[in-house]
Structure formats: structure tokens, C-alpha cells
Chains A and B, each alone.
Chain A
Amino acid sequence: MNVCDLIKKYDGKTVVDTVSFTIPKGKVLSLIGPNGAGKSTVMGMISRLIAKDSGVIRFEGKDIGKWKSRELAKKLAILTQHNNVQMKLTVRELVAFGRFPYSGSRLTKEDEKMIDQAISYMELEDFQDRFIDELSGGQRQRAYIAMVIAQDTEYVLLDEPTNNLDIYHASNMMRTVRKLCDELGKTVILVLHEINYAAFYSDYICAFVDGKIAKFGTVEEVVTKENLSEIYKVDFEIIEINNKPLSVYY
């Protein structure tokens, strides 16, 4: 999947400015940057949730706008930050929606199997008949991830998956992200605020500043003292833990 000269404006203000990059297959890519740098907007555009003003997004060689929405849903899944479902829905029913692009509302045996797998992968067996509005934030997030797994796509896009989670659930979430890539072979793209989660759990990092790509590269290339100070305009120190560059700021 590659992106070329992507531009998005809101009320005349350019939020995303000629952004081009290629998403490395089978890896975890994190989009980082200060607030309002345009990371979520880019994520929205590559997942067709937000219409682009100009530029090209090519997915498997075909422009994303030319894909049938239903077909694309079998290849690419996105989970946004705001998922407030008003209706009484059990965890299992939610996960079952992941099979919608394949079978519509009528589930086949195959679908049921995929749903079971997704639920057990996220260790939600005990909750599967609970209503999602009765769950804690961490459990709910896991239920949504299970749905994305059931959707069985090659690409998974997550917009701030650790938002509103405590440290325990957030790091669990990041481990799951790693597993999605390593065990299930998915390409995962994340928007993250926590630089250290990005540094520790992803393969590539793309840093945005003011709607433009400031740095793009492997974790080691991007997470350096100079780069981070430039991006965030705050002093950073880098220390190495488990061969990963982690940052300290204050």
C-alpha cells in the first residue's frame, strides 16, 4: 500500500500537506507526532473514512476509491477511538459483525468458527455473552480487537488503541498488536501518543509535524535525541532497554 501527495484541508487550513509514504508489509508501523499534526486524518484517509482532497492512495495496485467498499472491508480493518455503541449488544454479537463483509447478516459455520477463534484469541470466552456496555474499558477494547480479528484482514489500522487505558491494559494492548503482526502475519498501522510504546513495539515509525512527514524509518533511525527534540520541541534523553531506544522527557 502506498500513499502519494495526500492533501486534506479543513476550512481552508491545510491539515495534511503532500504526504507520501509506503506502508511496509507484514510490519508494525506507528504514526506519531504532536497534537494536530494530522496523523489521525492520514489514518482516516487511508481507511476511506475521511475523503481526501487530492493525492493518490494505492492499495494492492488499485486506487482506494475504486475498491468496492465491501471488498476493501475484507482486506483492511480500522478501529477508531470513538466506539460508543448505544444498542444492547453482547460481545459475541459484536465480534460476529466482523464477518459482515463476508456473509452479511447470515452467518455460516465457517463464520462461527472464525468468531470462536477471535474470541479465544483475545481471551474473551468468559465475557462473550455479556453486554458490551457492561464491560470495563480494557475489556471493551479487547472485544473490538476481537471483532477486527474476526474480520480477518491483512491490514489492521488502529487509531490510538491505548487511549483511556491504564498502564496494565495499555501494555497488554501493545503486546496484542505485536502478536497480530508476528503470529497472524498482519500489517498493523497505529496512531500513538506514547512514543515509548511506539519505539518498543513497532518496526517502523512515521513522525508527523504540521501535516507533513518529519521522519520516516525504522525505530532506531527515528527515535534519536535530535529527531524527537525537533519533532516535539522538548528536550529528550534516549536510553536503551532490551536493545530498544526508549525516550525520557520532562
Chain B
Amino acid sequence: MVKSKTYRGYGKIFFGLTALVLAASAAYLLVDSKMYNPRLFEFALKLRIPTLLVMMIAAFAIGGASIVFQSIINNRIVTPCLLGMNSMYSLVHTAVVFFVGSGSVIAVNTNLSFAIDLVIMGITATFIYGYLFQKTNHNVLYVLLIGTVLSSFFGSIQSTLVRVMDPNEYDTLLVSLVADFNNVNSGIILFSLLLLAALVFFLRKDLALLDVITLGKDQAINLGVDYDRTVRRLLLGVVLCIAVATAMVGPVSFLGLIIANIARQMLKTYRHIWLIAGAALVGMAAIIAGQLIMEHVFSFAVPISTFITIGGGIYFLYLLLFKKGEC
């Protein structure tokens, strides 16, 4: 009885969110698109549709990864990006170009270099973060602090590599290596879509187990979950999702934190299918609307990630200081 009522509530929320995403997408495609001139219109769409797709994929990847990660570590203020996974991806990508040379086949072929990045990232990240959790005994504050430091560590190495590669034109090379919202990497849309679909397919059982893992390690084992294996698989999924998102739109540290928590706040459920879908929709709405405003109000002057950093940082401090019970 009560149950059905709650689910109807979700239905309403999801309907609202979807409508919001559609409206934002339509606005993004159509505003100032010179509809009166078919050729200009076509041109605008050609530019905007891939960007829109990239933003949607990135939102799904970041939202899903953040929710899954939060549930694995059983804490609402920790997200993979805060622990530096995205700067790690940027580093991996730069390092690959560094070692094979920017002119080689591997670096030129976006899909190939992305595939190589993914393999390296999958192995190193699961190793490093698995080690980190084990070493800190899942003490959340230490995980967070070390993660924050790791993030700047990867960043420093990456900048060093870029400068060594080309000490004169540091900025140009950096731009071509790392994507951002104004310079999305649309070459890997198909690859990313396939990858994400495969991830969801192969992890579907583990994702279902997430509901139980929320109860904590002991309870999960008590209820018959192969905890270590499931967590390992899910962590790999998280790493790959973050790699996809970072490859497409560059590092945005706080986005996951914001959208995952908004989704949790709105849905108030432990069902991860709903949470992941909710976080993805919230993320899409936020990014698309944000980019829309950025392009037409600020005319590209200020990158959207600046706003995410400010808002996300304040929100993080709020969670850390005043929501201790949930941390």
C-alpha cells in the first residue's frame, strides 16, 4: 500500500526529470540555430548534436559511477572524481601520447588510443585504489585526503610530461590532449556507447547486489554475497566510466558529488537502478542547461567547470561539516 505510493512518487520525479532533460536538449539544439536558413540550421545541428550526445553520455557515466562508488564505500561525500580518478585518466592519456609520440598511429587514431588508455587505466586504477582502501582500512577521511593529494599528484606529473614534450607551446598541446566542455571529444561517441552498454550488461548482476552491499560488508556476506569479487568488478566498472567521462569532457571533479547527492535527496531510496537513472538524468539536465547558459549568456567566456568547482566545493564543505551523521 505504502509502497505503491512511493513508487508513484518516483514516477512523477522521473517524468519531471525526463521532461527537463528533453526541454534543455531541445533548447540547446534550437536556440540561436538560424532555423530560417536550412543550410545554417543543418550546420548548427551538425555541431550541436554530437556535443549534446557527449554531454549525455558523460552525465550518465559520472552519475552512475558516483552512485555505485558511494555505495561501495558506504559514504555520501566520497566520489571517484574527488579521489583523483579523472586526473589519473588525463595522466594516463598524456603518458600514452608521451611514450608513443604524438605523431604515431596510436596517438592519431582516437578510438585506438582510447582503448589503450582504458586498458592501462583499468589495471592501474583498480590496483592503486584497491590498495588505498585496504591500506587505510576504509577510513573515509584518510581515503578522501589521500585521494585529494593523489589528484594533485597525477596533475603535476601530467603537466610535467606535457612541458617536457613541448616546452614552448605548453598551452596548445595541453588543449589538444585534454578535452573540456567547449572542446568535447566526439570522436569516441560510438565506442563509449558500446562500452557503457557492455558494462551495464556484464555488471547487471553486481549492480543488483549493490542494494545488499549498502548494508555493509558483514551484512552482505551474511546474506550470501560474494563481497570481494562483486566490489572488485564494480570498482573496475566505476574506473572505466570515469575514464569515458574524462575522455569526453575533461576532468570535472565535483559534478558527481552534486548530482549523486541530489538524486539521493530526491528519490530517498536504496534501489540503485532508480538512483543511477536519477543521477544520470539530474546530471544531463544540469550539464546541458549549464552549457546552454554558458554559450549564450557568457558567450563561451567562462567554462562551466568553474561554476561546478565553486558550487561543488561549497556543497562538499557543507556535507563534510554539517551532515556528519551521513558521512
Contact = CB atoms under 8 A, between A and B. Distances in A.
A92 to B, nearest CB: 8
B218 A80 contact: yes
B221 A69 contact: yes
Given A88-B269, A88-B270, A105-B208, A73 B224 contact: yes
B76 interface: yes
Query: Which interface residue of B2, B211, B218, B226 has the most chain A CB atoms within 10 A?
Result: B218
B211 A105 contact: yes
Interface in B34-82: 71, 74-76
Given A104-B208, A105-B208, A86 B222 contact: no
A80 B221 CA distance: 11
A151 B2 contact: no
A49 to B, nearest CB: 5
A243 interface: no
A212 interface: no
Contact of B218 (A78, A87, A129): A78
B2 A129 contact: yes
Given A85-B216, A86-B75, A86-B214, A77 B224 contact: no
B277 interface: no
A88 B219 CA distance: 16
Contacts, number: 71
A97 interface: yes
A88 B268 contact: yes
Contacts of A72: 224
A49 B270 contact: no
B85 interface: no
Contacts of B325: 133
A145 to B, nearest CB: 13
Interface in A76-109: 77-80, 82-89, 93-94, 97-98, 100-101, 104-105
B326 interface: yes
Interface string B188-226: 000000000000000000001001101111110111111
Nearest to B222: A78
B218 A49 contact: yes
Given A73-B223, A73-B224, A82-B218, A87 B2 contact: no
Contact of B215 (A78, A85, A101, A133): A85
Main secondary structure of the interface of A (DSSP, over half): loop
Given A86-B75, A97-B212, A48 B269 contact: no
Contacts of A80: 218-219
Nearest to A73: B224
Contacts of B217: 49
Contacts of B76: 86
Given A86-B76, A88-B268, A105-B211, A100 B224 contact: yes
A83 B2 CA distance: 26
Nearest to A67: B224
Contacts of A93: 270
A71 B224 CA distance: 7
A71 B223 CA distance: 9
Contacts of A87: 71, 214, 264, 270
Given A89-B270, A93-B270, A97-B212, A69 B226 contact: yes
Interface string A142-175: 0000000001000000000000000000000000
A66 to B, nearest CB: 14
Nearest to A93: B270
A187 interface: no
Contacts of B218: 49, 78, 80, 82-83
A51 B286 CA distance: 46
Interface in A26-85: 47-49, 68-74, 77-80, 82-85
Contacts of A104: 208
Nearest to B211: A105
A100 B223 contact: yes
A86 B74 contact: yes
B214 A69 contact: no
B216 A84 contact: yes
B216 A83 contact: yes
A97 B213 CA distance: 11
Given A105-B211, A129-B2, A82 B216 contact: yes
Interface in B210-245: 211-212, 214-219, 221-226
A229 to B, nearest CB: 34
Given A72-B224, A86-B75, A86-B76, 17 more contacts: A49-B221, A70-B224, A70-B225, A74-B224, A77-B222, A78-B222, A79-B222, A83-B218, A86-B326, A87-B270, A88-B264, A88-B270, A97-B215, A97-B223, A100-B223, A104-B208, A133-B325
Interface of B: 2, 71, 74-76, 208, 211-212, 214-219, 221-226, 264, 268-270, 325-326
10 A-B pairs with least C-beta separation: A73-B224, A70-B224, A101-B224, A87-B270, A80-B218, A69-B224, A100-B223, A88-B268, A87-B214, A78-B222
11 contacts: A49-B218, A49-B221, A72-B224, A83-B215, A83-B218, A83-B219, A85-B214, A88-B270, A97-B215, A101-B224, A151-B223
